[in-house]
Amino acid sequence: MHSRLKTSRTRSVALLLSLLIVAAACGQKPNVAQVSAAGGAGVIDPDTGEVIDGSIIDPDTGEVIDIGDGTDGTAGTDGGSDGLSGSTGSAGGATGTTDGSGGGGGDRTGISDTEIRIGIHAPVTGAAPIPQNSFEEGKEVFWNSPDGKIGARKVRVFFEDDKFDPATAVQRCKKMVEQDKVFLLIGGGGADQITACAKYAQSAGVPYLSAGVNEAGLANLRSYFALSTTYAQQSPIIVQMVQKQFAGKKIGIAVADSGSFNDAYDSIKKAFAAAGFDVVYDKRIPKSANAGDGANIANAMQQSGAEVIYFLSSPTTFLYVANGLNPAYSPQFVGPGITSGLNTVANIGCSAPRRGVDKAIFFSPFPQLDVIDKIDPGYQKAYQAQLGKKGDDLGLALWGLSRQLKTMFDVAGPNMSRQSFVAAIENGKPFAGGVYPPVTFTARNHFGGSQVHVLQADCGSGSFKTIGTFVSGY
């Protein structure tokens, strides 16, 4: 009996170890991603994301490089202008002027006479799955359109699935930087992944851009730029909207339990409190909830009596909660976001018998398809011409982002390096691609957005409709 028990215990411990390994592999562990992301040991402070000693380490050579502040004007020792050799200027050397004429030196990895390489990562699998075909099809539509020419150069876009996992995101970003030799990186969605990759990009001296997400962990990254308002910047606008449209309603706050959302959570709590709202439900919810969690959260919201709920999570968590609502309970969801306003969310949520997503309002850096012909007629024309079909909202997100980036490339000039690109867009002037709201960056502020588009789920059509464009307040 003793030996059987011993065998059973051994097997059980082996199983436990296996489960722990699986759990460790599945879940994100705070700071692991950024630690593993660093090109060299101790490059990034895991808490703040700051580059220790204010310098950046080249991941290949281990050399300290200066991302350049646009003021020193010292020529780089190796401009790397001979193509995609991947050489990194040993000294920043950007002239950093704002008129687009500078940048003769510095790191020109990813730029040749005929090509500019950029890398995008986004979740195709995981808790916020985004259709891969839309990314693959749409990633170069703008750059292949008449408006997308950068002189004689063509923009080539590399795309990687980050699996909604920060560690994977860093691996994929590193791959795009080291193997694909991209000039800059773009985060397509997912705050944790964007934060992790942005920190890696800083350590590698690579400019990194994304739609606005969190500010904490990104605020001290010289190479990071938010191409639209951050979640915290959206909080007062959301509260103004609630004040105007849902005055007197009881408020609920449900924010995913991720460190990246802490500043959004704090800011919305403060904004609702300052406006005198009665917050009856206030909870951090699982980052990757399942159907059971969704039903639990929905029931708790109902019991609290919350009538308007600020919701910030992955799209799948939102859908689980919306689907888990009791029929007698129909709260108004509002929130910031990039992916929550995608038509795939409305389509799936409206397919469920509960239709809990109906009328949900989410802010977005890009408008929806119902107004794009008025805002930018070139979008659908380009899709039709290049792919023979209409573009979807994910393609629109890429199109708008590309337009914004194009204005930055134009300002950085034909001889741009990574350093001069960063310095050039810190010029204090608005970048207005026309689809995303304008953004303005300075050396001290890389969160330069102030406007949003406002989308509302419409279960009649199974899609999001645009109910406000370029909104800065109510």
Q: Is 284 in the site for other proteins (CB under 8 A)?
A: yes
- Nearer residue to other proteins within complex by CB, 344 or 419: 344
Which residue in the set 45, 72, 178, 293 belongs to the binding site for other proteins (CB under 8 A)? 293
| CB 167, min distance to other proteins, A | 16
Q: Is residue 26 near other proteins by the rule CB under 8 A?
A: yes
Q: Indicate whether 243 belongs to the interface with other proteins (CB under 8 A).
A: no
Long-range CB contacts for residues 73-79, cutoff 8 Å, separation at least 24: 73/102, 74/105, 75/104, 75/105, 76/104, 76/105, 76/106, 76/107, 76/417, 76/419, 77/105, 78/105, 79/104, 79/105, 79/106, 79/108, 79/417
Among 61, 326, 442, 461, binds other proteins (CB under 8 A): 326
The structure tokens listed for 280 are: 């009856």
Smallest gap, in angstroms, from Cβ of residue 137 to other proteins? 9
Tell whether residue 133 is a contact of other proteins (CB under 8 A): yes
Residue whose C-alpha is closest to residue 451's, from 424, 464, 432 = 432
Tell me which stretch binds other proteins (CB under 8 A): 70-78, 141-149, 214-222, 298-306.
298-306
Tell how far CA 432 is from the center of its chain.
19
Contact 432, 440 (CB under 8 A): no
Residue 66 or 137 with smaller CB distance to other proteins: 137
Q: Which of 9, 244, 374, 389 binds other proteins (CB under 8 A)?
A: 9
Cα–Cα dist 336/265, whole Å: 11
By CB under 8 A, is residue 19 in contact with other proteins?
Answer: yes
Contact 189, 120 (CB under 8 A): no
Task: Specify the residue, 8 or 71, whose C-beta has the smaller distance to other proteins.
Answer: 8
**Going residue by residue from 330 to 369, which x/- string records binding to other proteins, judged by CB under 8 A?**
--------------x--xx--xxxxx--------------
Range 143-178 burial, b when 16+ CB lie within 10 A, else e: bebeebebeebbbbbbbbbbbbbbbbbbbbbbebbe
| 25 lies in the binding site for other proteins (CB under 8 A) | no
Euclidean distance between CA atoms 395 and 399, whole angstroms:
6
| In the block, residue with structure tokens 């780089």 | 76
Distance in Å, CB of 436 to other proteins, minimum: 24
**Is residue 84 part of the contact set for other proteins (CB under 8 A)?**
no
Give SS3 for 48.
coil
By CB under 8 A, name the binding residues for other proteins. Answer: 1, 4-5, 8-9, 11-16, 18-19, 22-23, 26, 124-125, 129-134, 257, 283-284, 286, 288, 290-297, 299-300, 303, 315-316, 319-320, 323, 326-328, 344, 347-348, 351-355
